[in-house]
Amino acid sequence: MDDDEEMKPESSKTEISDDSSSWLDSSSYNFFCNDRESSILSEFGWNLQPDNDRRTTHRDEAINCVLPSEHMDLEQGSNLAGISSSSSSSRLLLPENLMSVNQTALMISSSIDAASTCNPSVSSSSSEELPEKSTGSDGKPPDKPTTKGRKKGPKRIRQPRFAFMTKSDVDHLEDGYRWRKYGQKAVKNSPYPRSYYRCTNSSCTVKKRVERSSQDPTIVITTYEGQHCHHTVGFPRSGVFSRDPAFATQMNTSAAEPLYVPGMMQFHLEGRGLPNVTQLTHGLQREVVRSDQVLPESASHLPTDEGLLGDIVPAEMRNR
DNA sequence: CGCGTTTGACCGGCGC
DNA sequence: GCGCCGGTCAAACGCG
């Protein structure tokens, strides 16, 4: 049933998935972009404007992207899978291991729906912000006779979500937090299931979705929702995190200083919604074909003249 | 035994 | 109103 579309080359259909584009709907966001990429995006009708006020960081170990604060009301000092906030904008630090499990990841992120502030202190007690169903811990008897009856409540408010794509063999990447899987669903038009994880910290409401791209099975799409109200639970034995100063810094303080990256201009992207993954990928494919320039894989997570957007294009696609 | 995963059922939003 | 589908629940199960 799910083998019909499975290995169809990108020529036929190029959507990552129906819903993966649905959250790319905020009005603006910032990212690294070089001249070529900006021209590509311009071809798609997206209005790029240099934004020199906001600076984005790309270090050896982590990527730091600036997101529009008007869509993200993150609390100072809070963190979500490496997201920290400053006075004017929020930044997302991707820990090195997320970037380099098999290299290649482009963070594409945006906020969503009600990006209401969710301060850590609120997590379990504030019912107004988080109409999350009773988590079972309360043992509330269901309204319905069924054992799986759910408490009705106000409309569920989605917390800010952040997604990024990682080229990786493993679905569930270590990110310093412990996750408990609570569900798995088949994804429409994709042979690969989507897994749902929840932070094991009882007072933490952060959730995470992991799915593989139906187009390129080597790409894992990870989506975080919510903010951690606690620190990481210790790092993996290999110490990937401990040798990641950027990530460690971010975890200990929210005041990660913005750095300027030589050779990389930052643009402010404006339009009637963000270009979705498909559009970006398409444009870059074309560009890559034209430029006939293939990055060495080992260096693909470093800033190059292709910029970060170039990383989104899987090697196989580049070679087409 | 505790914790995490699996899996089928259920709920609710949304489009037609 | 109905059906589809994403998201969640929770019992059963597996594993260390």
Average pLDDT of the residues of chain A: 45
Report which DSSP code applies to A88: S
List the A147 CA – C10 C1' distance (angstroms).
8
> What whole-number distance in Å separates Cα of residue A65 and Cα of residue A100?
17
List the A269 CA – C2 C1' distance (angstroms).
41
What residues pair up with A87 in beta bridges, in sequence order? none
Q: Is the CB of A58 under 7 A from strand C?
A: no
The residue with greater pLDDT, A269 or A196, is A196
Q: Which nucleotide is nearest to A172 (CA to C1')?
A: B5
The pLDDT score that the predictor gives to residue A192 is 86
The residue with greater pLDDT, A258 or A202, is A202
Among A278, A288, A217, CA closest to A37: A288
Burial class (CB in 10 A: 0-12, 13-18, 19+), A53: exposed
Length of chain A: 320
Percent of all residues in chain A with a pLDDT value above 90, rounded to a whole number: 2
The pLDDT score that the predictor gives to residue A181 is 92
pLDDT digits (tens, 9 = 90+) for A228-250: 777 665 443 333 333 333 333 33
pLDDT digits (tens, 9 = 90+) for A40-89: 444 434 444 444 433 333 322 223 333 333 323 333 223 333 333 333 33
Whole-Å CA distances, A104 to A1, A254, A293, A300, A303:
31, 26, 16, 6, 11
Among A37-41, A64-68, A276-280, A310-314, which range has the highest average pLDDT?
A37-41
The pair of three-digit structure tokens given for residue A306, joined into one six-digit string: 């292709």
The pLDDT score that the predictor gives to residue A219 is 74
The pLDDT score that the predictor gives to residue A204 is 79
The pLDDT score that the predictor gives to residue A217 is 78
Cβ–Cβ under 8 Å, residues A207 and A224: yes
Whole-Å CA distances, A206 to A15, A158, A209, A225, A233:
27, 11, 10, 6, 14
Does position A193 have pLDDT exceeding 80, yes or no? yes
pLDDT confidence tier of residue A225, bands split at 50, 70 and 90 = confident
The residue with greater pLDDT, A219 or A266, is A219
pLDDT digits (tens, 9 = 90+) for A104-152: 233 333 333 333 333 333 333 333 333 333 333 333 333 333 444 454 5
pLDDT digits (tens, 9 = 90+) for A176-189: 778 899 999 988 88
The residue with greater pLDDT, A16 or A319, is A319
Report the protein residue whose CA lies nearest the C1' of nucleotide B4.
A180
Q: Is the CB of A237 under 7 A from strand B?
A: no
Indicate the residue type of A162.
F
The residue with greater pLDDT, A185 or A265, is A185
Percent of all residues in chain A with a pLDDT value above 70, rounded to a whole number: 18
List the A285 CA – B9 C1' distance (angstroms).
42
Q: Is the CB of A183 under 7 A from strand C?
A: yes
Q: Is the CB of A148 under 7 A from strand B?
A: yes
The pLDDT score that the predictor gives to residue A161 is 65
The pLDDT score that the predictor gives to residue A196 is 92
List the A46 CA – C2 C1' distance (angstroms).
39
pLDDT confidence tier of residue A212, bands split at 50, 70 and 90 = confident
> What whole-number distance in Å separates Cα of residue A276 and Cα of residue A61?
26
Q: Which nucleotide is nearest to A193 (CA to C1')?
A: C6
In degrees and rounded to multiples of 5, residue A42 shows phi and psi of -65, -35
Please tell me whether the overall predicted TM-score, pTM, comes out greater than 0.75 for this model. Answer: no
Report the protein residue whose CA lies nearest the C1' of nucleotide C9.
A148
